[in-house]
């Protein structure tokens, strides 16, 4: 094979990468069900340590699984997790597990915790992921640095606890000993210290005033209270001792009870802190030890290796594993291995977290003279992140390890498990700007893009940030846009996802209250959620906008055809029905819709606050908290309000469907008056089908008018744009109003005269405590952001809706994300992209992503040039986020047929399918090998490429 042919046929930059990917895919086609850990392989951490706190037990469980992963005895002596595969340069093996298939992890809850969790919809499996790690600190200081910090904090905490103990003892003695009371009285009378001055000084904490009850371990009242107590004793010691001697009874000494209460609560906070730092220490130490065991394995293999080249590689691997992540990294290889060990530990302990701005993180370690070696190393790293792949979807069912608590949110959301079977919620983001607003593109940006282009792996998800300077800038910026376009064109899988800095940064900074520097440092995580780089704790709520519209049309009920529900399922307020009350015009309908949107945003915003604290009792997160900004400084876990920023997105699905349907109703019911709204609602309810001939005729007419002759989102249509603007504005305003409501109820201390009302509202919202600012300090706030999209849940969401102006049948999938419904774009990409221009998407920090699929045939040879123009146009039109996938309809149809045969057990089809394992498509929230998708999703994907463009 000459060099040229070789370059064309191999995957990745080198033969090593090619063979690693092929070996990975070979494993991926096998039945991997026997590679899962089973509970009997772990010690029962919960049962064995009932006296330890949940956070410590979780840390122990992390240690337990990392130990099991390197235990040679397990899996009949063939532990698939404790191996270094031929040619690997980055080592360690993540356990199987994904968003759709669930996880395997040691039990760490006690029996009573497990029992009570039944009411919480949370379980040990409930860790949410959806956050991003900034590895800069770890690479600079090593985990040893973090452990040292823990030890320093722990010694400080120990000291404080001792002083609190001293104060407790002091109080105890006052309560019990007359001699002691007399001593105090004497000392006070002589102006001497009674033995508590030092303790009161030592427990002092700075900034205690705005730190909140649950976070500060100091109460300034203590000094006055002790002063009051001892003053009282000095004045009354005779009376007290007399009473005690005469009656031998308990004498109520003022101040003492209050002091004891404060001491208990503050010492508890110190205990919590101690538990936190201990857990961080245990977790970090577990990762270091895991790495050490890989150092041993590499060394062992080195001695048996006969190939001198590989022998040297193993020697180097062993050296690196002994060094990182314990110590700071000094080379590119060390940095990558260090990041991978931590990433691996997070993902194997159920924390599906992202890798953040890796081009920024790795650049200090990059050496131009070693470019090729580093390119290969990075591709090795990507393979390690992707190697959990399972390609044969017929094996999914027996690998389903999800439980009731594995859901995404605190309220269960039905998942499309099949589609998510290979989704690990791992993202990398490159480019964009620095915290200072400068161009952040560097050598590693290009290296990472090249790696994705060459390997064509579908995971991790690569995201690229673009800002105006990249469009206007010189050679380097042009090179960046070219590299992105070539990667998109060659890999075809929608990567990198494009994030528009010009829209997302203002969305975070101006519209969501995030400081500008932090906003400039944003990352993408989970599916496509914009959040802050290693400094935010994120959660989200979704609702279905089309359901809100159904409620508006049908008095707070869905347009269900189920007769036992009468009008339909009641989901919101009962509101006047525009089909019944003819005085309600289109504007009236809009006002009713606003009420229902507000119902759903209220529900979302209130529940974000209400459920904020559940995690701490069940899913604490010490390993992630070790690197999450704020936690180490505050001595608090991510789930105890430790993170510097708390973000929560409210994300409705089906905006395009809702607006398409509203526009059709406006045109044909209110403007042209061609149909009665009652008929339209029945047409929706019964999927435009009727057995009655006359009714069917009406339904058919409605369907034609609504589907073929009404404006649709994505066509740059003015009438549609007006309705879209109204809907988007209304949703945004509702989010702001709901946020204010939730803050009034939960966040701010009520004014004295308003206290009763607020306490009552809190009770109604299921919360009995003090305001969260009082509890967590003045800085505490949950920044609620608005976004729009479906992730991969378009099929599931649509399942609950009646037909609409862009869907034939009840239950059909809704439009994907914030993209036009498939088959409703009549013009061009330019029309689609210009549809964003006037929507004010710079308000949507929760992300509003559009998935564009282009037919390979249409792009021809000019692919990269066209893609670059599409990206430029998207940024110019103030788009928020964009994916561009490239598909070949004919090829997808062919693969679908083979998949159907494979699902029917045809072995030959399975063999043939293997040649299509690299075809990856975008599934709303992520990329996925097409061969692994559920049939309905495969079918709908075939229709996705934009309609005939020529």
Q: Does 873 bind another protein (CB under 8 A)?
A: yes
The site map against another protein for 875-904 (x = CB under 8 A) is: -x----------------------------
Q: How far is CA 940 from the centre of its chain?
A: 26
Kindly indicate which of the ranges 118-126, 147-155, 362-370, 865-873 contains the residues binding another protein, using the contact rule CB under 8 A. Answer: 865-873
Q: Which CB sits closer to another protein, 103 or 868?
A: 868
Q: Does 860 bind another protein (CB under 8 A)?
A: yes
Q: Which CB sits closer to another protein, 182 or 858?
A: 858
Of the candidates 915, 829, 827, 817, the one whose C-alpha atom is nearest the C-alpha of residue 867 is 829
Strand ranges across the sheet with 782-786: 536-544, 645-653, 782-786
Q: Which CB sits closer to another protein, 486 or 737?
A: 486
User: Which one of 830, 890, 911, 935 is in contact with another protein (CB under 8 A)?
Assistant: 830
Q: Which CB sits closer to another protein, 519 or 822?
A: 822
Question: Given its phi and psi angles, is residue 809 left (phi above 0), alpha (psi -120 to 50 degrees) or beta?
Answer: beta
Q: Does 371 bind another protein (CB under 8 A)?
A: no
User: Which one of 155, 235, 865, 908 is in contact with another protein (CB under 8 A)?
Assistant: 865
Q: Cβ contacts of residue 387 below 8 Å, gap of 6+?
A: 24, 27, 93, 94
Q: Could you tell me what percentage of the chain is helix, strand and coil, using 3-state DSSP and rounding each to the nearest 5?
A: 55, 10, 35
DSSP 164-227: HHHHHHHHHHHHH-HHHHHHHHHHHHTT---S-HHHHHHT--TTGGGS-TTT-S--THHHHHHH
Give the phi and the psi of residue 253 in degrees, each rounded to 5.
-95, 125
Give the phi and the psi of residue 33 in degrees, each rounded to 5.
-60, -25
Count of residues near another protein by CB under 8 A: 28
Strand 927-929 vs strand 920-922: parallel, antiparallel, or unpaired? antiparallel
User: Which one of 68, 286, 833, 886 is in contact with another protein (CB under 8 A)?
Assistant: 833
**Least CB distance from residue 500 to another protein, whole Å?**
16
User: Which one of 45, 870, 898, 923 is in contact with another protein (CB under 8 A)?
Assistant: 870
Place of tokens 């991510």: 638
Of the candidates 178, 160, 188, 145, the one whose C-alpha atom is nearest the C-alpha of residue 324 is 145
DSSP 730-764: HHHHHHHHHHHHHIIIIISPPPGGGHHHHHHHHHH
Interacting positions 663-702 with another protein (CB under 8 A): 700-701
**Least CB distance from residue 389 to another protein, whole Å?**
35
**Least CB distance from residue 825 to another protein, whole Å?**
10
Question: Six-digit token pair at 28?
Answer: 């991926």
**Least CB distance from residue 600 to another protein, whole Å?**
33
User: Which one of 716, 783, 804, 885 is in contact with another protein (CB under 8 A)?
Assistant: 716
Q: Does 704 bind another protein (CB under 8 A)?
A: yes
Kindly indicate which of the ranges 568-576, 591-599, 614-622, 856-864 contains the residues binding another protein, using the contact rule CB under 8 A. Answer: 856-864
Kindly indicate which of the ranges 144-152, 633-641, 866-874, 880-888 contains the residues binding another protein, using the contact rule CB under 8 A. Answer: 866-874
Strand 849-855 vs strand 782-786: parallel, antiparallel, or unpaired? unpaired
Kindly indicate which of the ranges 249-257, 412-420, 643-651, 853-861 contains the residues binding another protein, using the contact rule CB under 8 A. Answer: 853-861
Q: Does 936 bind another protein (CB under 8 A)?
A: no
User: Which one of 208, 310, 831, 901 is in contact with another protein (CB under 8 A)?
Assistant: 831
The site map against another protein for 569-598 (x = CB under 8 A) is: ------------------------------
User: Which one of 421, 601, 817, 834 is in contact with another protein (CB under 8 A)?
Assistant: 834
Q: Cβ contacts of residue 510 below 8 Å, gap of 6+?
A: 842
**Least CB distance from residue 496 to another protein, whole Å?**
20
**Least CB distance from residue 868 to another protein, whole Å?**
8
Q: Does 720 bind another protein (CB under 8 A)?
A: no
Kindly indicate which of the ranges 309-317, 563-571, 733-741, 854-862 contains the residues binding another protein, using the contact rule CB under 8 A. Answer: 854-862
Q: Cβ contacts of residue 414 below 8 Å, gap of 6+?
A: 793, 796
**Least CB distance from residue 788 to another protein, whole Å?**
21
Report the alpha-carbon distance of residue 786 to residue 278 in Å, rounded.
37
Using an 8 Å Cβ cutoff, are 596 and 573 in contact?
Answer: yes
**Least CB distance from residue 924 to another protein, whole Å?**
24
**Least CB distance from residue 833 to another protein, whole Å?**
7
User: Which one of 181, 282, 631, 829 is in contact with another protein (CB under 8 A)?
Assistant: 829
The site map against another protein for 773-812 (x = CB under 8 A) is: ----------------------------------------
Long-range contacts of residues 163-167, Cβ cutoff 8 Å, at least 24 apart: 163/198, 163/199, 163/200, 163/202, 163/203, 164/199, 164/203, 164/263, 164/266, 164/267, 164/270, 165/267, 166/195, 166/196, 166/199, 167/196, 167/199, 167/200, 167/203, 167/222, 167/226, 167/259, 167/263
Q: Which CB sits closer to another protein, 455 or 834?
A: 834
Question: Six-digit token pair at 339?
Answer: 């990041």
**Least CB distance from residue 840 to another protein, whole Å?**
18
Q: Which CB sits closer to another protein, 44 or 479?
A: 479
**Least CB distance from residue 834 to another protein, whole Å?**
4
User: Which one of 34, 862, 893, 908 is in contact with another protein (CB under 8 A)?
Assistant: 862
- State whether the Cα torsion 896-901-902-903 is positive or negative: positive
Burial of 558 (0-12, 13-18, 19+ CB in 10 A): buried
Using an 8 Å Cβ cutoff, are 899 and 928 in contact?
Answer: no
Question: Six-digit token pair at 589?
Answer: 């309908």
**Least CB distance from residue 488 to another protein, whole Å?**
15
Report the alpha-carbon distance of residue 604 to residue 601 in Å, rounded.
5
Q: Cβ contacts of residue 366 below 8 Å, gap of 6+?
A: 332, 374, 442, 443, 444, 447
Q: Which CB sits closer to another protein, 363 or 696?
A: 696
User: Which one of 827, 856, 888, 912 is in contact with another protein (CB under 8 A)?
Assistant: 827
**Least CB distance from residue 859 to another protein, whole Å?**
9
Q: Which DSSP category does 611 fall into?
A: T
If DSSP codes are grouped into helix, strand and coil, which group holds residue 783?
strand
User: Which one of 319, 567, 872, 936 is in contact with another protein (CB under 8 A)?
Assistant: 872
Q: Does 950 bind another protein (CB under 8 A)?
A: yes
User: Which one of 4, 564, 694, 708 is in contact with another protein (CB under 8 A)?
Assistant: 708
Residues in the chain: 950
Q: Which CB sits closer to another protein, 810 or 833?
A: 833
Kindly indicate which of the ranges 267-275, 416-424, 747-755, 862-870 contains the residues binding another protein, using the contact rule CB under 8 A. Answer: 862-870
Question: Six-digit token pair at 794?
Answer: 């378009």
Report the alpha-carbon distance of residue 267 to residue 164 in Å, rounded.
7
DSSP 267-296: HHHHHHHHHHHHHHHHHHHHHHHHHHHHHH
Q: Which CB sits closer to another protein, 488 or 551?
A: 488
Question: Six-digit token pair at 174?
Answer: 């006052």
Question: Six-digit token pair at 117?
Answer: 């969790």
Kindly indicate which of the ranges 390-398, 644-652, 823-831, 916-924 contains the residues binding another protein, using the contact rule CB under 8 A. Answer: 823-831
Of the candidates 687, 686, 685, 681, the one whose C-alpha atom is nearest the C-alpha of residue 664 is 681
Kindly indicate which of the ranges 71-79, 127-135, 437-445, 708-716 contains the residues binding another protein, using the contact rule CB under 8 A. Answer: 708-716
Q: Which CB sits closer to another protein, 2 or 950?
A: 950
Q: Which CB sits closer to another protein, 17 or 875?
A: 875
Using an 8 Å Cβ cutoff, are 114 and 234 in contact?
Answer: no
Binding site for another protein (CB under 8 A): 700-701, 704, 708-709, 716, 826-831, 833-834, 858, 860-862, 865-866, 868-870, 872-873, 876, 949-950
């Amino acid at each position: 094979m000459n060099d040229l042919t070789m370059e064309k046929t191999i995957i990745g930059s080198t033969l090593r990468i090619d063979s690693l990917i092929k070996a990975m895919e070979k494993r991926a086609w096998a039945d991997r069900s026997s590679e899962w850990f089973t509970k009997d392989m772990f010690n029962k951490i919960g049962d064995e340590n009932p006296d330890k706190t949940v956070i410590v037990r979780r840390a122990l469980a992390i240690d337990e699984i990392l130990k099991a992963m390197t235990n040679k005895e397990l899996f009949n002596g063939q532990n698939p997790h404790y191996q270094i595969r031929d040619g690997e340069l980055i080592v360690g093996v993540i356990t199987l597990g994904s968003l759709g298939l669930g996880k395997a992890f040691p039990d760490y809850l006690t029996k009573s915790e497990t029992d009570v969790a039944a009411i919480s919809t949370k379980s040990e499996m409930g860790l949410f992921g959806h956050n991003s790690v900034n590895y800069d600190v770890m690479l600079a200081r090593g985990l040893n640095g973090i452990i040292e910090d823990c030890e320093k904090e722990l010694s400080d905490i120990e000291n404080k606890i001792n002083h609190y103990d001293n104060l407790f003892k002091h109080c105890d003695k006052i309560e019990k000993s007359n001699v002691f009371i007399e001593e105090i009285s004497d000392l006070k009378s002589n102006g001497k210290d009674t033995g508590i001055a030092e303790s009161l000084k030592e427990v002092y904490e700075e900034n205690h005033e705005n730190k909140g009850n649950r976070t500060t371990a100091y109460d300034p009242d203590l000094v006055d209270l002790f002063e009051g107590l001892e003053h009282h004793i000095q004045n009354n010691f005779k009376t007290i001792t007399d009473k005690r001697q005469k009656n031998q009874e308990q004498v109520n000494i003022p101040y003492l009870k209050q002091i004891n209460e404060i001491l208990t609560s503050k010492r508890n906070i110190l205990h919590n802190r101690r538990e936190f730092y201990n857990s961080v220490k245990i977790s970090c130490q577990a990762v270091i030890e895991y790495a050490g065991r890989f150092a041993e394995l590499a060394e062992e293999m080195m001695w048996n290796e006969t190939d001198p080249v590989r022998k040297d590689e193993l020697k180097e691997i062993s050296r690196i594993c002994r060094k990182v992540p314990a110590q700071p990294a000094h080379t590119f290889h060390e940095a990558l291995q260090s990041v991978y060990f931590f990433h691996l530990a997070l993902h194997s302990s159920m924390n599906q977290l992202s890798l953040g701005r890796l081009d920024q993180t790795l650049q200090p370690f990059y050496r131009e003279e070693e470019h090729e070696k580093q390119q290969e190393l990075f591709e090795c790293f990507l393979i390690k992140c992707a190697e959990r792949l399972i390609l044969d979807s017929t094996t999914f069912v027996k690998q389903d390890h999800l439980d009731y608590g594995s859901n995404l949110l605190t309220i269960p959301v039905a998942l499309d498990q099949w589609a998510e079977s290979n989704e690990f919620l791992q993202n990398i983001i490159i480019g964009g700007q620095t915290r200072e607003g400068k161009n952040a593109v560097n050598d590693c940006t290009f290296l990472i893009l090249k790696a994705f282009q060459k390997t064509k792996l579908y995971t991790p998800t690569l995201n690229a940030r673009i800002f105006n300077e990249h469009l206007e800038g010189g050679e380097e910026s042009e090179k960046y846009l070219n590299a992105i376009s070539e990667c998109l064109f060659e890999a075809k899988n929608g990567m990198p996802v494009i994030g528009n800095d010009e829209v997302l940064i203002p969305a975070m900074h101006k519209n969501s209250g995030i400081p500008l520097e932090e906003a400039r440092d944003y990352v993408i995580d989970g599916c496509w959620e914009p959040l802050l780089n290693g400094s935010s704790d994120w959660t989200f709520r979704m609702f279905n906008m089309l359901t809100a519209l159904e409620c508006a049309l049908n008095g707070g009920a869905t347009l269900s055809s189920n007769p036992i529900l009468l009008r339909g399922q009641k989901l919101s307020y009962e509101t006047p029905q525009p089909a019944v009350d003819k005085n309600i015009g289109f504007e009236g309908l809009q006002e009713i819709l606003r009420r229902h949107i507000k119902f759903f945003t209220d529900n979302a915003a209130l529940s974000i606050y209400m459920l904020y604290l559940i995690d701490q009792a069940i899913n604490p997160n010490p390993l992630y908290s070790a690197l999450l900004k704020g936690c180490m400084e505050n001595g608090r876990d991510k789930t105890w309000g430790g993170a510097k920023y708390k973000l929560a997105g409210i994300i409705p699905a089906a905006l395009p469907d809702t607006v398409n349907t509203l526009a059709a109703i406006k045109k044909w019911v209110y403007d042209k008056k061609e149909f009665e709204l009652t008929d339209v609602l029945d047409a929706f309810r019964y999927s435009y089908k009727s057995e009655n001939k006359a009714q069917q005729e009406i339904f058919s007419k409605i369907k034609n008018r609504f589907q073929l002759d009404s404006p649709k989102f994505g066509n740059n249509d003015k009438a549609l744009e007006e309705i879209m603007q109204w809907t988007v504005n209304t949703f945004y305003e509702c989010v702001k109003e709901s946020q204010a409501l939730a803050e009034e109820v939960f966040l701010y201390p009520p004014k004295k005269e308003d206290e009763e009302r607020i306490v009552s509202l809190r009770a109604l919202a299921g919360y009995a405590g003090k305001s969260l600012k009082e509890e967590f300090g003045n800085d505490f706030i949950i920044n609620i952001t608005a976004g729009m999209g479906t992730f991969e849940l378009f099929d599931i969401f649509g399942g609950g809706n009646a037909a609409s102006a862009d869907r034939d049948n009840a239950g059909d999938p809704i439009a994907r994300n914030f993209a036009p419904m498939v088959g409703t774009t009549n013009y061009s990409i330019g029309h689609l992209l210009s549809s964003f221009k006037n929507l004010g998407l710079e308000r949507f920090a929760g992300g509003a992503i559009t998935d564009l699929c282009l037919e390979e045939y249409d792009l021809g040879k000019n692919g990269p040039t066209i893609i670059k123009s599409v990206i430029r146009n998207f940024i110019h039109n103030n788009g928020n986020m964009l994916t561009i996938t490239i598909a070949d309809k004919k090829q997808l149809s062919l693969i679908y047929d083979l998949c159907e045969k494979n699902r029917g057990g045809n072995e030959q089809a399975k063999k043939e399918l293997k040649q299509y394992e690299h075809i990856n498509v975008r599934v709303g929230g992520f990329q996925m090998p097409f061969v692994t998708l559920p049939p309905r999703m495969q079918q709908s994907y075939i229709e996705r490429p934009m309609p005939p463009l020529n």
